[in-house]
Amino acid sequence: MSSDIDVPSGEVTQNGAAGTPARTSDRGAATRGALLAAARDVFCESGFAQAAVTDIVAKAGASVGSLYHHFNGKADLYLTLFEEFQARQQERTRKAINAVREAGETDPMRQFIAGAGAYLDGCLEERDVSRLFISGDGPPGFDRAMRQRLGKWARRNAALFHTADGGVDEALVMVLTGAMAGAVSDISLMEDEDAARRLAAEIMGIVGTIRNPRTAPPV
């Protein structure tokens, strides 16, 4: 799911006359980054509903006006953080799958395990934001964004599992996607990081045993 958020970019023209000067653009980028970092901290501490714009700008060392210059408001900050987290997760998944492919792995399930494991690792590395987005305390309509993201992930998974007739194994994709969605939720909400890592490893071990009875070789 690509973001529909429109954030002013402060583009610079070649001669600098019609656009924002480079130093202003740099300052704008720094302010935007500080606002996102502050929003992340405040949302993770207080939750979305209780977070105040004034707390965010105070933590960022910015002004309310600068926040509304870069974002449409508190919900826009939250959704931008979500999109950026998912972009990092997608990159982790991509790198993991490419690594096993380059090592010679051709089994779609092993490729899926590598990508899904990388996604879980990302949830553990960024437990604060992962927990934030799983908690259910988001702006109105965020649950729809989460469903869309899950659907997009399912479609990417489907590309790994082809059937003999050239289609995709939808039943297997649904089982795997549902299992991973539950794993992401439970692992993100666990307080004990070591226990979360053990659970993630156990889950991936179990997921790796799943076989489609229509395509699995006879035992």
> Do residues 119 and 93 touch, judged by C-beta distance below 8 A?
yes
Overall pTM surpassing 0.85 (yes/no): no
Write the pLDDT tens digit of every residue in 39-92: 999 999 999 999 999 999 999 999 999 999 999 999 999 999 999 999 999 999
Sign of torsion over alpha carbons 184, 190, 193, 197: negative
Q: What is the pLDDT of residues 2-51, one digit of tens each?
A: 333 333 333 333 334 444 444 447 788 899 999 999 999 999 999 999 99
User: Does 218 score more than 90 pLDDT?
Assistant: no
Q: CA-CA distance, 214 to 218, in Å (whole number)?
A: 10
